[in-house]
Amino acid sequence: MTGNICGERFVVATFGESHGKCIGAVVDGCPAGLALTEEDIQRDLDLRKPGQSIVTTQRKEEDLVEIMSGTFNGRTTGAPIMMIIMNSEKDSRPYEVLKDTPRPGHADFTARIKYGGFNDYRGGGRFSGRITASFVMGGAIAKKLLRETLGIEIMAYTVELGGLRARGFTEEQVRERYSNEVRCPDPTVADEMKRRVVEMRGKGDSLGGVVECTAVNLPVGLGEPVFGSLDSDLARMALSIPAAKGVEFGSGFEGSRMTATQNNDQYYLEGGKLVSRTNNSGGILGGLSNGMPLRYRIAFKPASSIAAKQKTVDLSKNAEVDLVVPGRHDPTVVPRAVPVVESVTALVLADHAMRAGMISPVLKQ
Amino acid sequence: MTGNICGERFVVATFGESHGKCIGAVVDGCPAGLALTEEDIQRDLDLRKPGQSIVTTQRKEEDLVEIMSGTFNGRTTGAPIMMIIMNSEKDSRPYEVLKDTPRPGHADFTARIKYGGFNDYRGGGRFSGRITASFVMGGAIAKKLLRETLGIEIMAYTVELGGLRARGFTEEQVRERYSNEVRCPDPTVADEMKRRVVEMRGKGDSLGGVVECTAVNLPVGLGEPVFGSLDSDLARMALSIPAAKGVEFGSGFEGSRMTATQNNDQYYLEGGKLVSRTNNSGGILGGLSNGMPLRYRIAFKPASSIAAKQKTVDLSKNAEVDLVVPGRHDPTVVPRAVPVVESVTALVLADHAMRAGMISPVLKQ
Amino acid sequence: MTGNICGERFVVATFGESHGKCIGAVVDGCPAGLALTEEDIQRDLDLRKPGQSIVTTQRKEEDLVEIMSGTFNGRTTGAPIMMIIMNSEKDSRPYEVLKDTPRPGHADFTARIKYGGFNDYRGGGRFSGRITASFVMGGAIAKKLLRETLGIEIMAYTVELGGLRARGFTEEQVRERYSNEVRCPDPTVADEMKRRVVEMRGKGDSLGGVVECTAVNLPVGLGEPVFGSLDSDLARMALSIPAAKGVEFGSGFEGSRMTATQNNDQYYLEGGKLVSRTNNSGGILGGLSNGMPLRYRIAFKPASSIAAKQKTVDLSKNAEVDLVVPGRHDPTVVPRAVPVVESVTALVLADHAMRAGMISPVLKQ
Amino acid sequence: MTGNICGERFVVATFGESHGKCIGAVVDGCPAGLALTEEDIQRDLDLRKPGQSIVTTQRKEEDLVEIMSGTFNGRTTGAPIMMIIMNSEKDSRPYEVLKDTPRPGHADFTARIKYGGFNDYRGGGRFSGRITASFVMGGAIAKKLLRETLGIEIMAYTVELGGLRARGFTEEQVRERYSNEVRCPDPTVADEMKRRVVEMRGKGDSLGGVVECTAVNLPVGLGEPVFGSLDSDLARMALSIPAAKGVEFGSGFEGSRMTATQNNDQYYLEGGKLVSRTNNSGGILGGLSNGMPLRYRIAFKPASSIAAKQKTVDLSKNAEVDLVVPGRHDPTVVPRAVPVVESVTALVLADHAMRAGMISPVLKQ
């Protein structure tokens, strides 16, 4: 399969560019009978859209989604669901200067070579973070499907931003994750994070961070080892998010410094059900969900577009030049990545639940 | 596609269990005309096999591979290449005790539920680390193909073991990575690592670690964004290795704590070619190889099988019990994971080089 | 992969319903650098659209296509190409009567069961012949790509209609296939066919027929035996066209009544090139194109919607009832199927040419 | 996916060549818990193997299958099932003469070009009819799975041989289809067919024919329109059988000569169930099974290897030459194709039943 399509049984085909006419997705394989309207999708898109707060870019985008096919009388029909956002008019002139001078940290150089210079470079084109709106469209359907059939809830939240780490938080605080601008469930650290973002914006620089995702109520046995194991597919989708540079499950990299007596999760019975005291596995054993909460983290690099002067090469002249990237920039992508992480998690879980026959192709009326 | 098969154009279908008759793989899509004999594959399998040194399990496995199809007159034909290792006779009796008492950290519990108790639990069955022999079989062909067509070299090595980190090493030392038992290019730290492994073996406990992989001579543009981006597919394959719990590219998690001015790789010209001073991207921008060395790291948890007494549940009686896992164990899987990491890297790169039309389906005679 | 998506390397994801908002397709994997505008696609859509002549339905549809993504400065960029036709307002009320009384020969009954009654039944919904507009959108791009890179020409034409068979025709007449309303290259028989269609329309009945497709300038070796052989994939796509019920290559069913001495194509040299005197193989040997013209035929059943009274069951009452299907009907789908057959042929050939590395992912500027 | 692998959820990866070491298949995705031993597979292989009667080739092949993985205690485990037949020693010397002189009707020429001359040409190598043993291995498992879970029975039989057609037969005679050498359920015609085959063998020529396949007890709704419709996938697999040149469903090509009033199947109720009086659809409407018997036919060309002198080209000298193909030949492949047609039908139905969630990934113990 080609690169812009993901999934085996709950499939999302994405399309659109930053400065093109639209952004959208086609979902194929969604069961028939799911109640679905634009509101279900718009809610998640609104969490992703820029211009919402001081910690994100000041660009305004309306991002109103329209469902173009696949529903009838307010429910999915089993046919492909096409969703689209029309892009608003954008000023692409500033990008002309970037045509031959690839921005450090961006795909400008690699895309130019791969596509022989035919790629749409305006606003990063197909490599813009804007394409994650497609992930959110598909993810919103997947989330609703998982919730209504299996009771699965997916919550992502910022646990690190600019080196500041959330120290501790309750499940309740996780549920309220969207109540602060950095989407961090630890309110004290959230304030510090926000201050650091504002400070960094002032300097024309940017920050990275780490988003954690927890999903509860997973049945045991999601995943198709070995290459379609649950962690394999989550990792694949995690790294498909622009700016993601790492992923770890459960104790992850820290766990690699423990011994097995420290890291192995000991089993016991709770209400007649096998559970474990710790969750260093992140809810995955042998590539299969084990019934404990799924927990994993994604590392995001500092947003590559910054106001500071940088070094690059003018490829039309083969000469080293200084570059100042025009436009308004995100001082960090982390808060906006939070709903995107939830979306890709939902896509993987919905796909695997369908592969495992745990969600019927027709929902009860 | 089902879980035991990977790749789009260079495809590997794997089969076999720990205590079954055999382990093997079918490679479909390998170009015709590649010189290939058992020796090409055996070399890599020997690097993976257990019983080689004090730092790995003392189980002896011969692991002699035979090519069963797909070659003719010493070259590949374009037909599927089936490779097989016959398993030696194993004593499966100790595993009877494990049938109903899942080992912490293993897939025993999840596999039992997913496969309704029909799974072959002996030695972990299909979830044994032994299945990585299949990865190495396919990977050995991929490595040779990449080397002979594009000049790509792939080198993995231990950079962390039991919390001990390699401090610094030369490219030459990386080339000599198999000269010490822990496969660490920093010889001083290698000695410490080895001592710690031996010590841990004495305690009946085990260690985790981190394997880094570097690949050079990649053409620019490998990868199929967004979901088939190079990092997406490498991450997917990395997490398919048993005991892998995390993956990071370039500066990875550490980079998420930097600012963009620190983390962005500045471009300059070297011999008329655009390169970057740093390689915090790990050689991947926008999901595409950028011509710099590919560099990424995989975190492995401490091997789950240990001599120490652990807590589990007897599922036949639904009662909490103590468990002592019988048999001889790996005090760490990290050194043996090194050739496996090279193999999965080769599989991803070969697949993407073929997808991109950079390797012809027929090699020159 | 799910059912609404086809191809491996030149992929088409389709969406839309007969009475929904739109019909469309996303092409992923098209090489960058192909000159492409709406006109390239509209031309083929116009050949498919209804209401063009007395031999097809009198419904009028504008079917104006818009390219929504994937092109920049008039050329493809390597990003997904989304194309859409907005449906005009349709009167869906007549279909209410059909909700519970499945039309013989249509998908009404099977779709209702498969999708639990959630399917959009208006105008056949996702099972309408209208979805072939998506095939034509993708096919128009594939045809242009094949022509400009490999010089491949694809021509389909009616060879049988209502039992009347084309008796003989020249290559020139095949090139002029769209000059008569039934798209038959034998002008005498074309007139008879037309009269029979008009007569059948008067009776409220309909006719089937056979479309033949010839493609020239194929390189030797297209196809991926065994399951991805060229004939396998053409047959699969042929049967994806609504109303198609059979497919045969070269001498096909008639060849099965010959002996090998009659059916085997004898080789000889022509201009130093191996060719065969006959083409009973239809240009495919062992699932691979052999350099001779590809030739195959598709059988289409008589259009199922007819004015005559038919027997069905009212599923809401579980009672046998008589049914008269409302609306205007195609007295035959065969002439309109002609451009659709060309389209699916182009999709298969483009996909295989890309799989075989015969078309580069970047076209020369 | 590459060409030697088929299926989405019930996947078969095939390998092996005519004169190589072995022939085999890996089945991935088979539910856990199916009772399975070599006998289940051997039975079908024995129906396919040559040398059984005067109407097939006199070559003797033992074709003893061994299950190498994926079962435990006599049941499938959910892990990949590898099955293998070791080839007996064969005399490949006669094929040396064929290396440069492609046999008319065979893949010799196309394979040589596609694989750059690296292909194993001995006995047709990967293009030999012998590879259908792999189809039968996978198909035997699929048949058992379908029978035990859904009660589906699949029966193929010869309806035409050398132009002689079965005139009529009972369901009982279809069940006894393997009782005569040509596998034709009409015993009178079977005798005539046999005489014609013997006569043709005497002439050193060969015959083609048509195999019909009927499957009963299909649930309504198997198939994934549009490109994964049931007829699409059956057609694809049908054309993957060597020597197959056409396929038709229900009334097929003959139906294309009818009017809709003749061809539409009228519905009525039988025991409260919607059924149709005729079955011109072959049990498929809109690409979905409709609960009526699935019925389709495959046309096989006369076996290409014949004793008669033929025209070809010596590619090493670029000269036209006469060719006499050495060895013993099948005077027809039709009777041996019968179990192969059942196998591929089973593979498609099992795959679709699993895609539709109609077969659970774990069977009841």
Out of A17, A32, A33, the one facing C79 most closely (by C-beta) is A17
Amino acid identity at C288: L
Task: Work out the minimum CA distance from B362 to partner chain C, whole angstroms.
Answer: 10
Tell whether the torsion through CA atoms of D346, D296, C108 and A141 is positive or negative.
Answer: positive
Amino acid identity at C355: R
Tokens representing D143 are 């048949």
Higher local confidence (pLDDT), C19 or C98: C19
Is the pLDDT assigned to residue A167 strictly greater than 70?
yes
Is the pLDDT assigned to residue A57 strictly greater than 70?
no
Interface test with B, best of C355, C360, C362 (most B CBs within 10 A): C355
Task: Work out the minimum CA distance from A355 to partner chain D, whole angstroms.
Answer: 8
- Determine, for residues B120 and D72 on separate chains, whether the beta-carbon distance falls below 8 Å: yes
Of how many residues is chain D composed? 365
Task: Work out the minimum CA distance from B321 to partner chain A, whole angstroms.
Answer: 9
pLDDT tens-digit profile of A106-118?
999 999 999 999 9
Is the pLDDT assigned to residue D58 strictly greater than 60?
no
Tokens representing B144 are 């040779």
Q: Are D357 and D157 in contact (CB under 8 A)?
A: no
Strands A153-161 and A164-165: antiparallel
Identify the pLDDT of residue B330.
Answer: 86
Residue C59 pLDDT grade (very low, low, confident, very high; cuts 50, 70, 90): low
Nearest to A256 by CA among D160, B333, C338: B333
Q: Is the peptide bond before B226 cis (omega within 30 degrees of 0)?
A: yes
Non-local (6+) Cβ contacts of D41 within 8 A are D65, D67, D83, D136, D137, D140, D141
Q: How many other β-carbons are positioned within 10 Å of the β-carbon of residue B223?
A: 28
Nearest to C327 by CA among C44, C51, C48, C58: C58
pLDDT tens-digit profile of C109-138?
999 999 999 999 999 999 999 999 999 999
Identify the pLDDT of residue A171.
Answer: 95
Residue C89 pLDDT grade (very low, low, confident, very high; cuts 50, 70, 90): confident
Q: Which residues of B touch C31 (CB under 8 A)?
A: none
Interface test with C, best of B355, B359, B362, B363 (most C CBs within 10 A): B355
Higher local confidence (pLDDT), C364 or B5: B5
Q: Are B98 and B331 in contact (CB under 8 A)?
A: no
Is the pLDDT assigned to residue D55 strictly greater than 80?
no
Please report which helix (H) or strand (E) contains residue C24, including its range.
strand C22-28
Task: Work out the minimum CA distance from A81 to partner chain D, whole angstroms.
Answer: 15
Out of B109, B276, B299, the one facing A285 most closely (by C-beta) is B109
Q: Are D12 and D6 in contact (CB under 8 A)?
A: yes
C313 part of contact set with chain B, CB < 8 Å: no
Amino acid identity at C21: K
> In this predicted structure, which of A254-263, C318-327, D308-317 has the lowest mean pLDDT?
C318-327
- Determine, for residues B245 and A250 on separate chains, whether the beta-carbon distance falls below 8 Å: yes
C352 part of contact set with chain B, CB < 8 Å: no
- Determine, for residues B13 and D13 on separate chains, whether the beta-carbon distance falls below 8 Å: yes
- Determine, for residues C118 and A72 on separate chains, whether the beta-carbon distance falls below 8 Å: yes
Is the pLDDT assigned to residue A356 strictly greater than 70?
yes
Identify the pLDDT of residue A365.
Answer: 65
Residue D328 pLDDT grade (very low, low, confident, very high; cuts 50, 70, 90): confident
Identify the pLDDT of residue D59.
Answer: 58
Q: How many CB pairs under 8 A join B and D?
A: 174
CA distance D125 to D179: 32
Interface test with A, best of D355, D359, D364 (most A CBs within 10 A): D355
Identify the pLDDT of residue C98.
Answer: 82
Identify the pLDDT of residue D92.
Answer: 80
Burial A9-30 (b: 16+ CB within 10 A, else e): bbbbbbbbbbbbebbbbbbbbb
Q: CA dihedral in degrees (C336, C109, D9, B357; nearest 10)? A: 10
DSSP B179-231: GSTT--S-HHHHHHHHHHHHHHHHHT--B-EEEEEEEE-PPTT--BTTTB-HH
CA distance B19 to B21: 7
B108 part of contact set with chain D, CB < 8 Å: no
Q: Which residues of D touch B77 (CB under 8 A)?
A: 17, 115, 118-120, 125-126
Specify the residue for token string 């719990």.
Answer: B245
Q: How many CA atoms lie within 13 A of A60 on its CB side?
A: 2
Which A residues 4-23 touch B at CB under 8 Å?
4-6, 8, 14
Which C residues 137-196 touch D at CB under 8 Å?
160, 162-163
- Determine, for residues A355 and D9 on separate chains, whether the beta-carbon distance falls below 8 Å: yes
Residue in chain A lying closest to D79 (CA): A225
Task: Work out the minimum CA distance from B34 to partner chain C, whole angstroms.
Answer: 17
Nearest to A28 by CA among A344, A346, A347, A343: A347
Interface test with A, best of B9, B224, B236, B330 (most A CBs within 10 A): B236
Residue in chain A lying closest to D31 (CA): A356
C74 part of contact set with chain A, CB < 8 Å: no
pTM: 0.97
- Determine, for residues C356 and B356 on separate chains, whether the beta-carbon distance falls below 8 Å: no
Q: Which residues of C touch A131 (CB under 8 A)?
A: none
In the predicted model, what is the mean pLDDT of chain A? 95
Non-local (6+) Cβ contacts of B93 within 8 A are none
pLDDT tens-digit profile of B132-181?
999 999 999 999 999 999 999 999 999 999 999 999 999 999 999 999 99
Nearest to A330 by CA among A203, A140, A201, A179: A201
Task: Work out the minimum CA distance from A8 to partner chain D, whole angstroms.
Answer: 8
Residue D365 pLDDT grade (very low, low, confident, very high; cuts 50, 70, 90): low
CA distance B172 to B175: 5
Identify the pLDDT of residue C50.
Answer: 75
Q: What's the rounded mean pLDDT across residues C6-34?
A: 98
Task: Work out the minimum CA distance from B226 to partner chain A, whole angstroms.
Answer: 5
Task: Work out the minimum CA distance from D336 to partner chain A, whole angstroms.
Answer: 35
Identify the pLDDT of residue B349.
Answer: 98
Q: What's the rounded mean pLDDT across residues D240-268?
A: 98
C271 part of contact set with chain B, CB < 8 Å: no
Q: Which residues of D touch A9 (CB under 8 A)?
A: 355
Share of chain A above pLDDT 70, in %: 97
Q: Are C17 and A69 in contact (CB under 8 A)?
A: yes
Q: Which residues of chain B have pLDDT under 50?
A: none
Identify the pLDDT of residue A89.
Answer: 78
Task: Tell me, rounded to whole angstroms, the distance of Cα B354 from its chain centroid.
Answer: 21
Domains of chain D, start order = 5-355 (3.60.150.10)
pLDDT tens-digit profile of A323-354?
998 877 889 999 999 999 999 999 999 999 99
Tokens representing B353 are 């080089």
Q: Which residues of A touch C9 (CB under 8 A)?
A: 2
Q: What's the rounded mean pLDDT across residues D118-124?
A: 94
pLDDT tens-digit profile of C154-200?
999 999 999 999 999 999 999 999 999 999 999 999 999 999 999 99
Residue A60 pLDDT grade (very low, low, confident, very high; cuts 50, 70, 90): low
CA distance C40 to C141: 8
Q: Report the first-to-last Cα separation within chain B, whole angstroms.
A: 34
CA distance A113 to C144: 24
Identify the pLDDT of residue C62.
Answer: 76
Identify the pLDDT of residue B327.
Answer: 76
A68 part of contact set with chain C, CB < 8 Å: yes
> In this predicted structure, which of A41-55, A308-322, D23-37 has the lowest mean pLDDT?
A41-55
Q: How many CB pairs under 8 A join C and D?
A: 361
Collapsing DSSP to helix, strand or coil, C116 comes out as: coil
Task: Work out the minimum CA distance from C35 to partner chain B, whole angstroms.
Answer: 21
- Determine, for residues B357 and C357 on separate chains, whether the beta-carbon distance falls below 8 Å: yes
Q: Report the first-to-last Cα separation within chain C, whole angstroms.
A: 34
Helix axis angle, D132-150 to D38-48, nearest 10° = 130
Identify the pLDDT of residue B51.
Answer: 65
